[in-house]
Amino acid sequence: MNKLEMLQNPKQRKLLVSAGFSWMFDAMEVGMISFIAAALAKDWNLAPQQIGYLTSINSVGMAVGAATAGYLADRYGRKSILLWTLLIFSIASGLSALATGFGILLVLRFIAGFGLGGELPVASTLVSESVSVQDRGRAVVLLESFWALGWIISAVVAYFVIAQYGWQWGFIIGAVPALYALYLRRAIEDSPKFVKGGAGKRASFIKGLADIWSSEHRRTTIMAWILWFTVVFSYYGMFLWLPSVMGLKGFTLIKSFEYVLIMTLAQLPGYFTAAYFIEKFGRKFVLIVYLILTAVSAIWFGFATTTASLLMAGICLSFFNLGAWGGLYAYTPELYPTKVRSTGVGMAAAFGRVGGVIAPFLVGMLVGKGVAISTIFTIFFVTILIGVAAVAFLGKETKGLELD
């Protein structure tokens, strides 16, 4: 049976696919910057530290966007904020193609990051609140699977377009989602739980923040923030540097893009297996198992010396890491009540994005100082295991629970 057919309601399937395409465009934009950074390093003679700045500023914007959009979605609705964030990152991406200097590009990448970071927690909350309890976890993981499609598209664009015609075309293609927002405006409806709860009658940002740190939710929030930080830190530190790391291991730009494309294809089966296991064995099972195997894959990749070993480690890294991301987005909205759900998800994502700011910059600094790739990936190995411990000891299982 087709996995989308498992969703019983045609309207739910339409929402999943519609929101999924916005998620795909988001991933395409994030993936594109990793390839563009490798190309820019050659065109503009950027130092490793500057590549770190470029990838980190995107995450700074994502952190601010996640916190802001999470609150605004609790106040004004999931649908309207989803559309605005989609427009913001699309327009900023298109303008990035016109950047004539590194400083201007950093400003535009911050704005694009703001839209990117805002869209993700809002989309996952919208889908989570709109799907029946027996399909909810699977639906959000399938939503996350569109991320793999976006990365695959970005890798294809990098191989056939950026490598041949220049990095500017990557940013131009990144502006396409602005047109999709016009369709999305008519295609989806707001979350029934949000509408039923009283649209616009939400607490202030300070009150929402106080609620998620109240005694009722404090343990959950600590767990969620640690989990998000460790997952985002390791993901952006590893994946935004993959094309550049392949170059450091002796491969040409074209060959690096080719190998990263092969690794990226493993993301889809990672999502689909997680979508199956998350309703069979639960959210904690998927997160713990997939994160442990991500950590093992990271240490393997860092110490790999042959082409075959490097490719297999990269494939496993993509498979398990992105499966864990699916579990992360399915799990987090289920931890909070409706009135602060988007705020809770947005703030956890925002704190996680701090890791996304630190990691690419840290990798750039360590590479610039000649630190071995194996040592850098050992850092990611340890970080991921900290996230595993947080879920194991502080997390609660939410499989089968009705959202209030």
pLDDT the model gives residue 273: 93
Give domain status of residue 310, yes or no: yes
Buried b (16+ CB within 10 A) or exposed e, 298-310: bbbbbbbeeeeeb
pLDDT the model gives residue 261: 76
pLDDT the model gives residue 305: 80
Q: Could you give the number of structural domains in the chain? A: 1
pLDDT the model gives residue 1: 43
Give domain status of residue 216, yes or no: yes
User: What is the rounded radius of gyration, in angstroms, for the C-alpha atoms of the chain?
Assistant: 20
Give domain status of residue 199, yes or no: no
- The rounded distance, in Å, linking the Cα atoms of 79 and 88 is 15
Angle between helices 267-280 and 283-303 (to 10 degrees): 150
Residue 90's SS3 state is: helix
- Residue 161: burial class (beta carbons within 10 Å; 0-12, 13-18, 19+): middle
Residue that the structure tokens 């997952």 belong to = 231
N-to-C CA span, the chain = 31
Angle between helices 102-130 and 10-43 (to 10 degrees): 160
* pLDDT tens sequence across 180-204: 887 887 778 888 877 776 545 556 7
Give domain status of residue 399, yes or no: no
Residue 118 belongs to domain spanning: 10-184+204-394
Give domain status of residue 193, yes or no: no
pLDDT the model gives residue 125: 87
Per-residue pLDDT of the chain (404 residues; tens, 9 = 90+): 455 544 557 788 888 888 888 888 888 888 888 778 878 888 898 887 788 788 778 888 988 998 899 889 888 888 899 999 999 999 999 999 999 889 999 999 999 999 988 988 888 888 888 888 888 888 888 888 888 888 888 888 887 888 888 889 999 998 888 888 878 877 788 888 777 765 455 567 788 888 899 999 999 999 999 999 999 999 888 887 776 777 777 776 666 667 777 887 888 899 889 989 998 999 999 999 999 999 999 999 889 888 788 889 989 999 999 899 989 989 999 999 888 888 899 999 999 989 988 887 788 888 888 888 899 999 999 999 999 999 999 999 998 777 66
| Amino acid (1-letter code) at residue 87 | L
* pLDDT tens sequence across 40-68: 888 898 887 788 788 778 888 988 998 89
Instruction: Judge whether 295 and 238 are in contact, CB under 8 Å.
Output: no
Residue 241's SS3 state is: coil
pLDDT the model gives residue 241: 73
Quick one: which of 99, 98, 94 has its CA closest to 112?
94
Give domain status of residue 194, yes or no: no
Residue that the structure tokens 């494939």 belong to = 315
Give domain status of residue 341, yes or no: yes
CATH number of the domain enclosing 172: 1.20.1250.20
Residue 353 neighbours by CB under 8 Å, 6+ apart = 59, 60, 62, 63, 66, 117, 232
Token code pair at residue 276: 């199956």
What's the whole-model pTM score? 0.80
Give domain status of residue 195, yes or no: no
- Indicate the length of the chain as a whole number: 404
- The rounded distance, in Å, linking the Cα atoms of 319 and 302 is 16
CA 345, chain centre distance (Å) = 13
